[in-house]
Amino acid sequence: MTDLYHQLITKLDTLVADKPKRWVVALSGGVDSCVLLDLLARYQTQFGGHCVAVHVHHGLSPNANAWASRCQSVCQPLNVEFKLEKVDLGDIQGESVEARARDARYQALAKHVQADDVLLTGQHSDDQVETFLLALRRGSGPKGLSAMAEKMPFGQGQLVRPLLNVSRHAIELYAKERNLTWVEDESNQDTRYDRNYLRHQVVPKLTKRWPTIDAAINRSARLCAEQELLLDELLQAPYERALADDGSLEIGELEQHSEALRIRLLRMWLERQGALMPSQAQMSQLWHQVAQAKLDANPQLILNQGQIRRYADRLYWLNKHQDISSWRGGLSLNTPLTLPDGLGELELIESENGSLALPHGACLEVSFEPQGLMAHPNQRGHRRKLKKLFQEYGVPSWLRRRTPIILCHDEVVAVAGLFVTRAYAGQQFELVWHQKHVFVPKS
C-alpha cells in the first residue's frame, strides 16, 4: 500500500514543532483533501489530538449543496468535527472567479484557525508545478517563483501543506487502495481557467518531453524560497529601523535606501500584514502617489484586502473593516470587554498608580462615535469637541471612529490610549487597551 501515512507523520514532526491545540483540515471534497482527512484521522487515532474539517461552500456549482453534504458524511465515521462555511462571491465574471474564490476560501478558513491551531491543506507537487508556471506567466520574481510554502503563519495559527512533495498520482493511488470516495468539481475540466489549461494541456506535454520536469520545478521553487528567506534575514535590521511602534513604516527611513531596497522593505512590510502582493505598477503608485504626495494631501492606495494610507510621514496598512460607529458595550471592573472588528480588548483594573477615578456605582459604556461629544483632557487647559481633540493628538482620520470612547451617562470619561478627562482624573483605576499595535499620539 502507498506509504503516505508514514510520510505524513514524518512531515508533521518536521514542520510542527509543538503539538497544536487543534488540527484544522481544509476539506473541499476532492481527492486531495479527502486523502488528507483520512491520513489525519489515522494520525488522530494513533497520537490523539482534536481534528476539525472545514468545508467552504462557494455556491458556484449546482452541486455545491451535495458536496457539502458529502463532506459532512465523510467526517462522521472518522470522528472528525465538521464545520460548514458559506461565502458569497457576489457578481463576478471571467478569470476573476479563481482569485475571488481562493481569497474567500482562505478568509473563511481563517475564522476557524485559533491561537496554536494548525491549518492543513491538500496541495501536492503537481499543484506546486502549476503555481510556479502561473507565476512565471505573470513575470514574477523569486518571491512569486517560490510558489507555495510548506509552512507559513496563517490567521492566529499556522498553515501547513504536508503533501507538497507528493504527486497527484500517489494521492489517487492511496485513495483507491483505501476505497475512499470523493467529489469531482466539473469546473476542473474547464480550460478557460489558466490553472486547468496548464494541468490538461501544458504540463502533460512538458512531462512527456522531460519526465523529471516536475522535480526540477519543485527544486527551483525551493531554491527561490531559500533565497527569499536569506534576503529577509539580511534585511531585518533596516526593516526594524523603518518600522514604528504602531506597525506603520517611517517614510524618512525608506528614503535613505535605493529604489530596489525600498521596494523590498515595502514588500516585507505588506507580507507581514497578511496582504497579497501588489503589482509592480501598484508598488510604483504606492511610493510616488502615496508616500511622496504633498503634505496636506490625504493619499491612499486601495487594494483587494485593504488600503495603504499616509499620515505624519508614515505609511499605514488598513485591513477592510466594518462600520462600528453605532456599537456600544458596557465596561465593568476587572472584566475584559471584547471590542468589535478585531480591535482587541478593553479592561478597567484597580491600580494605586492609575490615572482614573470613578464615583461609586458609576455605569460605564464604550462607544466609537465621537460626533457631538466634548471633553476636557486632564492635561489640557480647555474643553473642546472630540473631533478637534483627535486632530490635536494627531490621530489619523481612519482611527477616529475606531478608538474606544468611555462614557458615563453620555459624558466622556476617557479616550483609550489618549487621555482621561479632568472630572475623572485620579489614581484608583487604570484603563488598559490590549491591541496588536498601539497608536502613539504625537502630543
Report yes or no: 250 and 242 within 8 Å, Cβ to Cβ.
yes
**Within 10 Å of residue 351's Cβ, how many Cβ atoms?**
14
The top-level CATH class assigned to 2-124+146-191 is: alpha beta
Report the chain's C-alpha Rg in angstroms.
Answer: 26
> What's the CA gap between 331 and 423, in Å, rounded?
18
Residue 30 is labelled as binding a ligand: yes
Is there a binding annotation on residue 290?
no
Q: Tens digit of pLDDT per residue, the chain (443 long)?
A: 558 999 999 999 999 988 888 999 999 999 999 999 999 999 999 998 899 999 999 877 888 899 999 999 999 999 999 999 988 776 555 446 777 778 788 888 988 998 889 999 999 999 999 999 999 998 888 888 998 989 988 878 899 999 999 999 999 999 999 999 998 888 888 898 899 999 999 999 999 999 999 999 999 999 999 999 999 999 999 999 999 988 899 999 999 999 999 999 999 999 888 777 888 889 999 999 999 988 777 788 888 778 899 988 999 998 888 889 899 999 999 999 999 988 999 999 998 888 999 988 889 999 999 999 999 999 888 899 999 999 999 888 888 999 999 999 999 999 999 999 999 999 899 999 998 665 655 54
306 is known to lie in a ligand binding site: no
- Nearest C-alpha neighbor of 47 from the set 12, 73, 14: 12
State if pTM tops 0.75. no
Enumerate the domain spans of the chain.
2-124+146-191, 243-319, 328-434
Q: For residue 334, is it left (φ>0), alpha (ψ between -120 and 50) or beta?
A: left
Please check if 29 is assigned to a binding site.
yes
User: Do 243-319 and 2-124+146-191 have the same topology in CATH?
Assistant: no
The annotation status of 33 as a binding-site residue, yes or no, is: yes
Q: Which grid cell is 344?
A: 482587541
Is 332 assigned to a binding site?
Answer: no
Type of residue found at 226: E
DSSP letter at 348 equals E
Residue type, 374: M
* CATH of region 243-319, choose from 1.10.8.60, 3.20.20.140, 1.20.59.20, 1.10.1370.30: 1.20.59.20
